[in-house]
Amino acid sequence: MKNLVETLKTNFEAFAKDAESQIENGNKAAGQRARKVSLEIEKALKDFRKKSIDAGK
């Protein structure tokens, strides 16, 4: 679970960097990278939720 949290932190940082680059500079490639990472974040959050529920039982 600790690895999953570290992966989420890394993905959030990458998302923030690319999203900001798209907003500030109009960088279309950065927007595409941000969208891709957002999908990875979504999957990781679902996995975190499952593991968290199992740990709470």
What average pLDDT does the segment 8-35 reach?
Answer: 97
How many structural domains comprise the chain? 1
The confidence score (pLDDT) of residue 11 equals 97
Give 3: exposed, middle or buried? Use CB within 10 Å, 0-12, 13-18, 19+: exposed
Q: What is the pLDDT of residues 25-41, one digit of tens each?
A: 999 999 999 999 999 99
Predicted local confidence at residue 57, as pLDDT:
81
Instruction: Give the residue numbers spanning the domain of 16.
Output: 1-56
Looking at the chain, the number of H-run helices and the number of E-run strands are: 2, 0
pTM of the prediction?
0.86
Return the pLDDT at 56: 85
Please say whether the dihedral angle defined by the alpha carbons of residues 56, 1, 44 and 15, taken in this order, is positive or negative: positive
